[in-house]
Amino acid sequence: MATGREGLARRRAAMGFTQESLAEHLGIDRSTVGRWERGTLTPQPWNQPDLARALKVSLDTLDALLAPGAHVAPPGPDRISHALVAPQRLDLITVGHLRERVQRLDERYDRVPSTSLLADAGLALGQISFFGQHAPNGRTRLELRQVEAEAATLMGQLVWDASQRRDHDNARAHFENAIAAAREIGNTAAEGHALLRKSYISLYGERDPRAGLTLTEQTAHTTSNTSNVITGLALLHTAEAHAMLGDQRACEKALAEAETRFGKTNADDVAGFLFSPSQFDRMAGSCYLFLGDHRRAQKALEKTARGIRRQNKSRAIVLGNLSLAHLRQGELDAATAALHEAIDVVEETRGGGGLNIVFDAGKELRRWRTEHLVSEVYDRLLSLMTAA
C-alpha cells in the first residue's frame, strides 16, 4: 500500500501553493501533484529540481519529504524541540525547518529594526551550533553546515546593524564563522556572501577602502563560477572602493563588469534572492558621490529612489545619499526634502547605514544652520540621536 506524504503536502501549503497552483507553476497536471502527495507516484528526476525550487528546499530535503514515513514529522517547532533532546537523531526535515526559520528572519532584515530580530536569530544559531556538535556525518551534517553559514551571516549583519555599524569585532567573527562553515562543504556562494558582508565592515565601518577592496575582489574571484549575482554585487562594491580612493577609471571599469554579470543572471542563480534591479544605480550613485560628480550621482540616486517604494533600510541609504548630492550642489530645499524622507525610513527601520548617512548630512547642513528648514531637520536628528 502506498504511504501518504503529509510532509510534502504540508510544505506545499506552507509555501502558499494549492495543488492546482503548484501544478500550474511546474507546468504539470494537478492530478500529478495529488499522486505525489498520496505516495502513488514519485516525481521524475527532471521534475525534482523545479519542485525543490518551488518549495524552497534543497534536493536532499526534498528526498526526505518524498521518503516513506515522511508524513509522521511533527510541526517545525515541535520537531526541533524533539531533536534538541535527542540530537543524534537530527534528520534532514528538521534541518529544513531550521533553514526556514533563518530564511524568515532574513526576509525581515531590511524592513524592521535589527534589535527586534537579534534574540530569535541568536537562538536559531545557538541551536544549529548545538546540533553541529552531535550531528552524524553525511548529508544531514552537510545540510546543517549550510544552514549554519546562512545563520552566521545573518547574525553578523544583525549585530553590526544593531550597533549602528560600530561593533566590528563581533560582526566580523560571525562572518568568519560563516566563511569557515561554507568552505568546509565547498559552498562558494555562501562563502562569497559572507565575504561580501565582511567587506562592508572595512568599507563603511572602518572607512578603509583598501582593505575593503581586497575583500570585494576576493569575493568576486570566489563566486565567479558560481553566482553572477554575488559576483556582480562584489564588483559594485569594488567600484565603490575605487571611488573612495579617487580612481574613476577603475571604478567605472568595475561598474561595467558588474552590469555585464547582472545581464547574465538567470532564475537558476543560487543567490538570486539577493538581486534587486535598483542595486546598480544605487551603487553607481554612491560611487559618483565619492568621486565628486554630484549631478551624475543625483540622477542615479533619484532613479533608484523612484524604484524603491517600500520603507526599508536600503531606501534610507539612497535618500540620505541623495540629500548629500543636493547639498553639495547648494540645493537646500531638495536636500532637506530628501533628508526628511530618509529620516522617516530610519525612524521605522533603525538601519545603521541610514542612521550614519543622515547624521553625515546633518553635519554638512551646518553652513545653513540659521535657515528654518535646517532647524526642522535638526530637531528630528536630535530625536533620532536621543532614541539611539
Domain-by-domain residue ranges, the chain?
1-73, 294-388
The predicted structure's pLDDT at residue 3: 56
* In the chain, % of residues over pLDDT 70: 96
pLDDT band at 85 (very low <50, low <70, confident <90, very high): confident
CA quadruple 295, 297, 302, 308: dihedral, nearest 10: 180
- Report the predicted TM-score, pTM, of the whole model to 2 decimal places: 0.79
All three cell numbers of 85: 533532546
State yes or no: pLDDT of 317 exceeds 70: yes
DSSP codes joined into one string, 222-237: HHTTT-HHHHHHHHHH
Rounded to 5 degrees, φ, ψ at 46 are -80, -15
pLDDT band at 93 (very low <50, low <70, confident <90, very high): confident
- Mean pLDDT over 290-314 rounds to 92
State yes or no: pLDDT of 209 exceeds 50: yes
| 363-369: Cβ within 8 A, 24+ apart | 364/324, 364/327, 364/328, 365/327, 365/335, 365/336, 368/332
CA quadruple 352, 354, 355, 356: dihedral, nearest 10: 90
Residues with Cβ < 8 Å from 39, sequence gap 6 or more? 2, 3, 4, 5, 68
Average pLDDT value for the chain: 90
Tell which phi-psi region holds residue 308, choosing left (phi > 0), alpha (psi between -120 and 50) or beta.
Answer: beta
Residues with Cβ < 8 Å from 182, sequence gap 6 or more? 145, 146, 149, 188, 189, 190, 191, 194
192 within 8 A of 219, measured Cβ to Cβ: yes
- Mean pLDDT over 125-145 rounds to 89
Residues with Cβ < 8 Å from 224, sequence gap 6 or more? 231
- Mean pLDDT over 28-36 rounds to 89
State yes or no: pLDDT of 67 exceeds 80: no
The predicted structure's pLDDT at residue 290: 97
- Mean pLDDT over 273-289 rounds to 94
pLDDT band at 1 (very low <50, low <70, confident <90, very high): very low
From residue 217, alpha-carbon distances to 9, 178, 210, 258 in Å are 43, 18, 11, 12
Other beta carbons within 10 Å of 295:
10
State yes or no: pLDDT of 73 exceeds 50: no
pLDDT band at 71 (very low <50, low <70, confident <90, very high): very low
Sign for the pseudo-dihedral over CA of 110, 112, 114, 116: negative
- Mean pLDDT over 244-270 rounds to 95
Instruction: Quickly name the fold that domain 1-73 has.
Output: 434 Repressor (Amino-terminal Domain) (1.10.260)
Lowest mean pLDDT among 104-118, 285-299, 301-315: 301-315
Other beta carbons within 10 Å of 75:
10
The residue with cell 520537531 is 79
Residue 23: closest CA among 6, 2, 10, 37: 37
* Distance in angstroms (rounded) separating the CA atoms of residues 154 and 233: 17
Q: Which residue has the higher pLDDT, 330 or 66?
A: 330
The identity of residue 381, as a single letter, is: L
The residue with cell 534543497 is 58
State yes or no: pLDDT of 252 exceeds 80: yes
Lowest mean pLDDT among 81-90, 111-120, 126-135, 288-297: 81-90
